[in-house]
Chains A and B, each alone.
Chain A
């Protein structure tokens, strides 16, 4: 059977959703290294290195960048972001609330001990136990129980059907620990470096400064091409550029798009970009004046120059958002051509037109405008710049808007406090690519509360009913129809005002190939994803 065909079909089917889907073996995950090709050592920069390497208590992109080389989950994301097998060589949805993962044989931890079903059960239970205070507990909210049903089989019982749980074993929440290590209170410190089944093991950890990883000979998957990887923290953006220029580092992750032009001027440096699957959006509080008025919301939507912002701030590395979901989030649910046809129907008030904006405001209950202040994080690379443009446009139509730049923590805290919301700007990057992820967060009633993401206080019974179908029903067609309905209603009602979908960028010395850079690079063993000498 043609493997490519199978993979595509699997993806189309919503990845999982037919029974007993066998996913590909490790060989298809990355182009295997040419015989004899190997890189002795590379050094890459991250904006920071965590104080502790223990994802349940230090959950960040940076922790993922390091630990995704050391630890793996039962599943992983392929270069096309579809789910692939990892520690589980196959898995199936036995019934709508039962998932079974069959363990690959011969997998070993970095200390040589074999992986068992108990390790996976212990990891899942660790996140589920309130006592361990795992920051990723929310990913396991839908789980009723988890148990080893055979020496090489783990069964997960869900409280109710939940399609999104399928992704949990593939991202950081699914990284498997050795059971005994989870009892060690020092895990993640230099005294107790976390073990994993991944292609690398940690050999040195200087908290907040650097980590050194060494390739394992006994890794079950493709042989790592790079023998030794050093990741160093360089917080200062200009210093990172100078370090690359001087050759102290071979590359850097997490570049700000606004710096890309400078990086491109360096010799022998390649810039890799990929859609981040993130979104910048405005939320407008539907429960309070003035944004309870549809005409006011439309006026705001017409006042955002999305294309201009993509050009000015993202230098083209990103796309103007026609809806909340970036196109890649629909993979496995709606084919690209159907999606663009659907998004074309939503285009109307997501276009920039100040005369239409003025006309809408004139029709509203606030024809003379109003005052509004929008809090924005001063450490986000784009937020304040976006708001400056939006505020100027709003002033032109008579809305007296101003920005309140505050530090990131204060901004997050006030957003999730869920009081006096008014107009807010939010930047969100997802943990997994599912079409129901964003609409659930931004449009569901559940989230229109303190600690929730629905800053618009958007409440709509039809949307909640359709979201329930999309969250519970594995059938691709039913999900697609339900989600299209959600987006249609949300768009008609201007639930949010999406702005753009930015790319993510990294720099790498042009000596090397790195074909596997994707939105979820920090959740997959990136160093074995198409990394090699040119």
Chain B
């Protein structure tokens, strides 16, 4: 495979992604409109209001226009790189998102490292000690993690490591790299636990299969060390299914971040999205969902590229078709 063919495939995928994002954004827009509620009500709560002011606010956000007109106005803004102005607090959506992106990115990255690092390690250990108590323990841990809701795991971790042991803070995102890492450790673990089981199981299954292959037996017969067999051959070959699933895993982590951010009082994109939905802040909902959708598309593209790089047998034309 040449570099230029890779470029062509990437460009083609991006071209396909644009109509997809349009469909998603219109879908979300339509759903928010179908759902009962009124964005202006969130501003006022249970209060009566001055009709003239109310009309002015509705006009500013084009809330009384037909759905298609509203969507068209939003889209023409987006094409110009402007996500509009939030209804809550009347601020640029892009600047609010930019302010929140850091926490979610940090949390998701930390969690991804935990999930992939620890998940692959545990999966490998379980496969290598296949059938032993250690294997069963790892699998049981994975099942427990995937079954426990994140907000329950979160409160449990908070209680044990925050309140009882005083090792970690209870809330807030911290400032500066080290302080933030310290503040986000428990949230990242809570998030990782819920997703890690998938990585553990996939790695374990793939490795068990690889370990039973002839080339492993030959390697053993040649007297290679277990460590070399594991790391140089088996692990690399077992990673392909993990990489395939990595796209899903990363997306799962970002989606899970929504719960975790609320439980740990973190001002991230997830908490922002929830709040925007509860308040029917249409420009804000559109902004964050567009970002999430673009992230999912790009992650999957990236995974496919890595996939091809790890296993040269896979041709892009096949992946793309």
Please give, as numbers and ranges, the residues of chain A lying within 8 Å of B51 by CB-CB distance: 451
- Nearest-Cβ distance from residue A428 to partner chain B, whole angstroms: 6
Please give, as numbers and ranges, the residues of chain A lying within 8 Å of B171 by CB-CB distance: 232, 234, 236, 239, 243, 248
When A and B form their complex, what is the total count of cross-chain residue pairs whose Cβ atoms lie within 8 Å?
A: 138
- Of B17-25, B84-92, B205-213, B300-308, the one contacting chain A is B84-92
- Nearest-Cβ distance from residue A206 to partner chain B, whole angstroms: 8
Binary flags per residue of B34-75, CB closer than 8 Å to A gives 1, else 0: 011111011111111111111011001000000000000000
**What residue in chain B is nearest A48 (Cβ atoms)?**
B275
Please give, as numbers and ranges, the residues of chain B lying within 8 Å of A239 by CB-CB distance: 155, 158, 170-171, 263-265
Question: How far is it, in angstroms, between the C-alpha of A206 and the C-alpha of B36 when the chains are bound?
Answer: 32
Question: How far is it, in angstroms, between the C-alpha of A413 and the C-alpha of B32 when the chains are bound?
Answer: 14
Query: Is the pair B53, A130 in contact by a Cβ cutoff of 8 Å?
Result: yes
- Nearest-Cβ distance from residue B63 to partner chain A, whole angstroms: 12
Query: Is the pair A407, B278 in contact by a Cβ cutoff of 8 Å?
Result: yes
Query: Is the pair A135, B163 in contact by a Cβ cutoff of 8 Å?
Result: no
Please give, as numbers and ranges, the residues of chain A lying within 8 Å of B158 by CB-CB distance: 239, 242
Query: Is the pair A51, B86 in contact by a Cβ cutoff of 8 Å?
Result: yes
Please give, as numbers and ranges, the residues of chain A lying within 8 Å of B88 by CB-CB distance: 51, 58
Question: How far is it, in angstroms, between the C-alpha of A236 and the C-alpha of B37 when the chains are bound?
Answer: 24
- Nearest-Cβ distance from residue A374 to partner chain B, whole angstroms: 15
Known: A246-B170, A409-B38. A133 touches B53 (CB 8 A): yes
**What residue in chain A is nearest B169 (Cβ atoms)?**
A248
Whether, in the assembled complex, B159 has its beta carbon less than 8 Å from a beta carbon of chain A, the answer is yes
Please give, as numbers and ranges, the residues of chain B lying within 8 Å of A209 by CB-CB distance: 172-173, 267
Whether, in the assembled complex, A245 has its beta carbon less than 8 Å from a beta carbon of chain B, the answer is yes
Q: What is the total number of residues of chain A having a CB less than 8 Å from a CB of chain B?
A: 56
Query: Is the pair B267, A413 in contact by a Cβ cutoff of 8 Å?
Result: no
- Nearest-Cβ distance from residue A131 to partner chain B, whole angstroms: 7
Whether, in the assembled complex, A189 has its beta carbon less than 8 Å from a beta carbon of chain B, the answer is yes
Whether, in the assembled complex, A235 has its beta carbon less than 8 Å from a beta carbon of chain B, the answer is yes
Known: A57-B90, A409-B41, A416-B41. A451 touches B172 (CB 8 A): no
Question: How far is it, in angstroms, between the C-alpha of A282 and the C-alpha of B49 when the chains are bound?
Answer: 21
Whether, in the assembled complex, A406 has its beta carbon less than 8 Å from a beta carbon of chain B, the answer is yes
- Nearest-Cβ distance from residue A357 to partner chain B, whole angstroms: 28
Known: A135-B44, A413-B37. A236 touches B86 (CB 8 A): no
Query: Is the pair B263, A236 in contact by a Cβ cutoff of 8 Å?
Result: yes
- Nearest-Cβ distance from residue A413 to partner chain B, whole angstroms: 4
Name B107-160 residues within 8 Å CB distance of A: 155, 158-159
Whether, in the assembled complex, B271 has its beta carbon less than 8 Å from a beta carbon of chain A, the answer is yes
Please give, as numbers and ranges, the residues of chain A lying within 8 Å of B54 by CB-CB distance: 451
Whether, in the assembled complex, B204 has its beta carbon less than 8 Å from a beta carbon of chain A, the answer is no
Query: Is the pair A138, B278 in contact by a Cβ cutoff of 8 Å?
Result: no
Please give, as numbers and ranges, the residues of chain B lying within 8 Å of A428 by CB-CB distance: 46
- Nearest-Cβ distance from residue B49 to partner chain A, whole angstroms: 5
Query: Is the pair B37, A233 in contact by a Cβ cutoff of 8 Å?
Result: no
Whether, in the assembled complex, B201 has its beta carbon less than 8 Å from a beta carbon of chain A, the answer is no
Please give, as numbers and ranges, the residues of chain A lying within 8 Å of B99 by CB-CB distance: 207
Question: How far is it, in angstroms, between the C-alpha of A447 and the C-alpha of B280 when the chains are bound?
Answer: 25
Query: Is the pair A406, B36 in contact by a Cβ cutoff of 8 Å?
Result: yes
Question: How far is it, in angstroms, between the C-alpha of A410 and the C-alpha of B33 when the chains are bound?
Answer: 12
**What residue in chain A is nearest B170 (Cβ atoms)?**
A243
Choose among A52, A134, A452 the residue that contacts B53 (Cβ–Cβ < 8 A).
A134
Please give, as numbers and ranges, the residues of chain B lying within 8 Å of A248 by CB-CB distance: 169-171
Query: Is the pair A413, B170 in contact by a Cβ cutoff of 8 Å?
Result: no
Please give, as numbers and ranges, the residues of chain A lying within 8 Å of B41 by CB-CB distance: 409, 412-413, 416
Query: Is the pair A138, B49 in contact by a Cβ cutoff of 8 Å?
Result: yes
Query: Is the pair B91, A52 in contact by a Cβ cutoff of 8 Å?
Result: yes
Choose among B35, B49, B262, B263 the residue that contacts A137 (Cβ–Cβ < 8 A).
B49
Binary flags per residue of A102-135, CB closer than 8 Å to B gives 1, else 0: 0000000000000000000000000000110111
Name B259-297 residues within 8 Å CB distance of A: 262-265, 267, 271-272, 278-280
Whether, in the assembled complex, A210 has its beta carbon less than 8 Å from a beta carbon of chain B, the answer is yes
- Nearest-Cβ distance from residue B252 to partner chain A, whole angstroms: 22
Question: How far is it, in angstroms, between the C-alpha of A248 and the C-alpha of B183 when the chains are bound?
Answer: 13
Query: Is the pair A447, B56 in contact by a Cβ cutoff of 8 Å?
Result: no
**What residue in chain A is nearest B60 (Cβ atoms)?**
A133
Binary flags per residue of A186-219, CB closer than 8 Å to B gives 1, else 0: 0011000000000000000011111000000000
Query: Is the pair B43, A135 in contact by a Cβ cutoff of 8 Å?
Result: yes
Binary flags per residue of A54-97, CB closer than 8 Å to B gives 1, else 0: 10011110000000000000000000000000000000000000
Whether, in the assembled complex, B13 has its beta carbon less than 8 Å from a beta carbon of chain A, the answer is no
- Nearest-Cβ distance from residue B106 to partner chain A, whole angstroms: 14
- Nearest-Cβ distance from residue B272 to partner chain A, whole angstroms: 8
Whether, in the assembled complex, B166 has its beta carbon less than 8 Å from a beta carbon of chain A, the answer is yes
Choose among A59, A133, A134, A447 the residue that contacts B48 (Cβ–Cβ < 8 A).
A447
**What residue in chain A is nearest B158 (Cβ atoms)?**
A242
Question: How far is it, in angstroms, between the C-alpha of A426 and the C-alpha of B48 when the chains are bound?
Answer: 13
Whether, in the assembled complex, B96 has its beta carbon less than 8 Å from a beta carbon of chain A, the answer is yes
Choose among B35, B52, B163, B166 the residue that contacts A130 (Cβ–Cβ < 8 A).
B52
Known: A235-B265, A239-B263, A453-B48. A210 touches B172 (CB 8 A): yes
Name A416-454 residues within 8 Å CB distance of B: 416-417, 426-429, 441, 447, 451-453
Query: Is the pair A409, B49 in contact by a Cβ cutoff of 8 Å?
Result: no
Please give, as numbers and ranges, the residues of chain B lying within 8 Å of A447 by CB-CB distance: 48
- Nearest-Cβ distance from residue A158 to partner chain B, whole angstroms: 16
Whether, in the assembled complex, A414 has its beta carbon less than 8 Å from a beta carbon of chain B, the answer is yes
Query: Could you give 14 example pairs across A and B, Cβ below 8 Å?
Result: A57-B43, A60-B45, A131-B56, A133-B56, A138-B49, A189-B91, A208-B267, A234-B170, A236-B264, A243-B170, A413-B37, A416-B38, A427-B46, A451-B54
Q: Which residues of A contact B (CB under 8 A)?
A: 50-52, 54, 57-60, 130-131, 133-135, 137-138, 141, 188-189, 206-210, 232-236, 238-239, 242-243, 245-246, 248, 379, 406-410, 412-417, 426-429, 441, 447, 451-453
A-B contacts besides A51-B91, A248-B170, 15 pairs, CB < 8 Å: A51-B89, A52-B90, A135-B44, A135-B49, A137-B53, A138-B53, A208-B267, A208-B272, A233-B265, A239-B155, A239-B263, A242-B162, A406-B36, A412-B38, A412-B42
Kindly list the 10 A-B residue pairs having the minimum CB-CB distance in the complex, ordered from nearest. Answer: A52-B89, A413-B38, A137-B50, A51-B89, A137-B53, A410-B36, A138-B50, A409-B37, A243-B170, A412-B41
